[in-house]
Amino acid sequence: MATHIYQKSLPLINPVHGFSKLHIADKKHPEAVTEKSNKQIFDRIDLNRMKTLITFITILFCSILFLGCSKNSDTPVTPEAKLAALLTGSGNRYWHLSKQSINNVQQSLTDFQKTYTKTYTVDPSKTNAGVFTNSDGTTGTWTITGSVNYVESFVSAGGVGLQLTYLVNNITDNSLDIQYSANNKLVEEVYYAY
């Protein structure tokens, strides 16, 4: 007696490739799926699900790792700290006077003013204060008092303690535009860094 093998095509949902047909051979019962074949089908489905799950978990882990290790500082830079950093550079910045206006009238610089400089140095223990010196020999302290203001405190040549409050019109790494009031006059000075 000849044994015939009946083949039946059963639809199988493959999560990666969609529907496909699986041919299962069963000598005795062409309609029944053997336990061994059934296990192979589910093993194949479980393996694909496992690969997908592992891929998802790997991507999720790498995303969290890279986002958690960003180089950005969590401490935001305040406007005062930014002003101090621009004023002092990397700790010390030299400024050379290039223009001066009094009551909005541009002045011609004298020979002394053409060589006038200021040096601002940050105090390492503070981010918004430090010392300054200028080319006429005056030394003193400076303190940031707002996002666009700072105060210089010093002793004049006559021994009088003075304070000048500056309004910063504009500041960059290379340019400083400030103004202050003195003797009922509005003085604007523009410096460049060197």
| 49 and 95 together in one domain | no
| 83 and 140 together in one domain | yes
Does 73 reside within a domain?
Answer: no
- Residues contacting residue 136 through CB under 8 Å, at least 6 positions apart: 112, 116
| 176 and 84 together in one domain | yes
Instruction: Record the pTM.
Output: 0.61
Q: What is the pLDDT of residues 161-184, one digit of tens each?
A: 999 999 999 999 999 999 999 999
User: Where do we find the tokens 């969590």?
Assistant: 74
Does 169 reside within a domain?
Answer: yes
If you average pLDDT over every residue of the chain, what do you get?
81
| 89 and 125 together in one domain | yes
Does 47 reside within a domain?
Answer: yes
For the chain, what is the domain count? 2
Q: Where among 46, 68, 90 does a domain terminate?
A: 68
What's the whole-number mean pLDDT along residues 72-87? 82
| 103 and 179 together in one domain | yes
- Residues contacting residue 48 through CB under 8 Å, at least 6 positions apart: 14, 15, 16
- Whether 38 has a pLDDT exceeding 80, the answer reads no
| 115 and 22 together in one domain | no
pLDDT score for 143:
97
| 87 and 177 together in one domain | yes
The percentage of residues in the chain with a pLDDT greater than 90, rounded to a whole number, is 54
CA-nearest of 134, 143, 148, 133 to 164 is 143
**Helices H / strands E in the chain, number of each:** 3, 11
Sequence-ordered alpha helix ranges (H) in 20-138: 35-68, 79-88, 111-114
Does 74 reside within a domain?
Answer: no
Q: What is the pLDDT of residues 90-108, one digit of tens each?
A: 889 999 999 999 999 999 9
Cβ contact 169:191 at 8 Å: no
pLDDT score for 151:
97
CATH at residue 177: 2.40.128
Q: Which domain holds residue 31?
A: 6-68
pLDDT score for 177:
98
Does 1 reside within a domain?
Answer: no
Q: What gap in Å lies between CA 57 and CA 51, rounded to an integer?
A: 10
| 94 and 55 together in one domain | no
